[in-house]
Structure 1
Amino acid sequence: MSQATLGDDEELFGEAANEMREDVEASLEEAWAALPAADDIWETDADNVLGVLNGLNSALDAGDAEDSLRDAKKWFTMGQRADAFDDADDLEEEIEALEEAITDISEAGEQVGELTSTIPALRGTLQDAGPEETTDGTDDDAEDDADEE
């Protein structure tokens, strides 16, 4: 190989490394943008607890963020193995922070999902608990106590 070819290869490698870093950064930016907004998980228009939980469960979706994170990790891993990045600590830290945010969102979604199925059953239990009401608005136990006197 001639010197000119080696110089061209280094230049091409440098360009590829820059493009790879830009791809990682773009994927990370897309992932952050795909996460739910803080207000989306904090504010609600629901009339009851189940409505709040259903709305929250819908807001806790990080699907597109997960896809973008996967792309970022793919290009980051490739760049690291090729030793293409001069300094990749910032990318690695951002990937870790994004993974943590997605994990937190996913775990919160699981907890909300459990509550979404538990609350209606709890409501039914509480509605069925206690003395039965008669058609005149009094409870049967009060009438039984009065009969015993």
Structure 2
Amino acid sequence: MSQATFGDDDELFGEAANEMREDVEASLADAWAALPGADDVWDADADNVLGVLNGLNSALDAGDAEDHLRDAKKWFTMGQRADAFDDADDLEEEIADLEDAITDISEAGEQVSELTSTIPALRGTLEGAGPADADDTDDATDDEEDEE
């Protein structure tokens, strides 16, 4: 093989490394874009707590972010193993930040799901708890007076 061929191979490898980095960056950008917006999890439009929780539960969906993150990690891992990146610390840090965000969203969604199933049961418990209604007490008093 001639020196010219090696030079061409280095150039091709450099192009491939750049494209790989661009793929990782594009997948990361798509993943960030797929996450819910801050206002989506903060603003509520509902008539009651259960409506708010259901809305929040719907908002706490990472959507396609996990798939985009997987693509980013796949290309990042391949690029690292091929030693294709001159400096990949920024990509590695962004991947970690994205993983943390997705984990936080997922954990919050699980907590909201638990509340969504707990709150109606709690409402039922509270509705049935406490002293008997005033009407029931009056009826009992009337019955006692009738017996005298």
Q: 2:56 matched to 1:31?
A: no
Question: Which residue matches 1:60?
Answer: 60
Aligned match of 1:115: 115
Aligned to 1:88: 88
**1:140 is the counterpart of 2:121:** no
The two structures, once aligned, show a CA RMSD in angstroms of 1.5
Runs of 4+ in 1 over 6 A off after TM superposition: none
Matched with 2:13 is 13
Aligned length: 144
Match of 1:104 in 2: 104
CA distance in 2, matches of 1:106, 1:131: 41
> Where do 5+ consecutive residues of structure 1 fail to align?
none
Deviation of 1:69 after TM superposition, in Å, equals: 0.4
Map 1:34-53 to 2 at 5 A: 34-53=34-53
Alpha-carbon distance between aligned partners in 1 of 2:63 and 2:85, rounded to the nearest angstrom: 28
**Contact 1:34–1:62 at 8 Å: present in 2 too?**
yes
Q: How far does residue 125 in structure 1 lie from its aligned partner after superposition?
A: 0.5
Shift of 1:141: 3.5
Identity over aligned residues, as a percent? 83
* Separation in 1, partners of 2:60, 2:24: 24
Q: Normalised by the size of structure 1, how large is the TM-score? A: 0.91
Alpha-carbon distance in structure 1 between the residues aligned to 2:138 and 2:13:
87
Greater displacement, 105-114 / 139-148: 139-148
SS at match of 2:64: helix
**Which sections of structure 2, spanning at least 5 residues, go unmatched?**
none
Partners of 1:142 and 1:39 in 2: how far apart?
Answer: 51
Paired letter, 2:53: L
